[in-house]
Amino acid sequence: MSTNIHFRRIPDYIEQELRSIQEQHVIVAAIINIKKSDIARGVYRHLGVKMTEGDIVFPDSVYPDKLAGIYARRNRNGIVWILKNQPKVIKTFSFESPNFGDPDKGYHTTYIDREVYQRRFEPPREWVISISLVSQDAENVRMSAQIRTVLDRQHPDFRSDLFFAINLLQEQCRDCHVFRANISDDELAHITAVGWEIFPPGTMDRAFTAITSRLRVPSPQRQREIEHRANALARLHPTEYIVGSGMNSHYFGAKFGENIVAFENIDYGNALYILFDNWQEISQMSRIDILKRHEHDYIRIIHKDGWQKVLRRYIDELRGQQ
């Protein structure tokens, strides 16, 4: 698994999900797709998910293992912040020394004053993650994972709590989303991770507006980059444009017939993915989970010099196979 899994800020797709929720209280949860072979190898043992005699075994809730990441440790132990932007303060340190350097003559206490940075202790939240089984087949398991605490959008600490919660779940499950707090367990367990707005050919302007609306405060450079990549898809004359909504709001792409889909991700824009017959299944997965699949399930094109030519070559080849 990738080690670069944490957010430096609340991502745009989470902001989009928040805007779509009217209620005051929200939760952080995810629907995760797991290979049974990964469970057997112990990939999800930090969540208590394991294989016993061919059956999936897991707890109703788990206290994130402090060895499984920095946010799990902070969740359990808290964290001390060194306030380097604040003035230093005088702190007195003491230690015992032998009189005249001879322990037989007793000890005295020595005091030393030093300037130190101020510190602030953030107490542990001690949140737990609830886990439930949604469905399974011969090779895969679909599970829901939810941080078992309700976040109040009117609370002054809401943004910091939300930031912590999404990082904790992202760290443990490699995915996270926000939902209204009163969503039922059944709704959460059966919610679909795929939602698409479909735009016909010739409507790139509308599709581009829908894409950039997912961004919180898009910079001119970011908009130009997305427009450049969207135009690269448009030049290949797709049959439809698709823009993710809901849990998939960070994706956009184009269809080239029924079974060829090229995806871009506005949050992680280092590569484009081409999916085939099972694109609806694979597109439900996180970027990390896609990369763990067999290389025959997708084509990954890194955005470096000449990537447009590589994209055109693959699309032409796949079209010729239809």
Give the pLDDT confidence of 267-318 residue by residue, as tens digits.
655 788 888 766 666 665 655 566 566 566 778 888 888 999 999 999 998 8
Q: Is residue 3 part of a domain?
A: no
Place of tokens 């800020």: 9
Give residue 39's domain range.
12-76+126-190
pTM over 0.75: no
Nearest to 145 by CA among 53, 46, 54: 46
Domain stops at, among 135, 156, 190: 190
Q: Is residue 2 part of a domain?
A: no
Residue ranges in the chain modelled with pLDDT below 50: 1-3, 192-194
Nearest to 247 by CA among 18, 75, 1, 59: 18
Same domain, 272 and 299: yes
Report the alpha-carbon distance of residue 34 to residue 289 in Å, rounded.
8
Q: HSE of 28 in the Cβ direction (CA atoms, 13 Å)? A: 29
Q: What is the pLDDT of residue 165?
A: 96
- Three-state secondary-structure class, residue 146: strand
Token pair in block for residue 183:
């969503």
Q: What is the pLDDT of residue 1?
A: 35
Q: Which amino acid is at 63?
A: Y
Q: Is residue 207 part of a domain?
A: yes
Q: Is residue 7 part of a domain?
A: no
Report the alpha-carbon distance of residue 271 to residue 307 in Å, rounded.
9
Report the alpha-carbon distance of residue 225 to residue 219 in Å, rounded.
10
Place of tokens 């920095």: 70
Q: Is residue 164 part of a domain?
A: yes
Report the alpha-carbon distance of residue 188 to residue 144 in Å, rounded.
7
Same domain, 147 and 130: yes
Domain stops at, among 93, 122, 151: 122
Nearest to 249 by CA among 5, 6, 12, 8: 12
Q: What is the pLDDT of residue 309?
A: 93
Q: What is the pLDDT of residue 283?
A: 61
Q: What is the pLDDT of residue 137?
A: 83
Quickly list DSSP for 210-240. Answer: HHHTTSSS--HHHHHHHHHHHHHHHTT--SE
Domain stops at, among 122, 143, 177: 122
Number of structural domains found in the chain:
3
Same domain, 229 and 306: yes
Which residues 6+ apart lie within 8 Å of 237 measured at CB? 201
Same domain, 96 and 84: yes
Place of tokens 């209280």: 25
List, for residues 92-124, the tens digit of each pLDDT value.
888 888 888 888 888 888 888 898 888 888 888
Same domain, 55 and 182: yes
Q: What is the pLDDT of residue 152?
A: 94
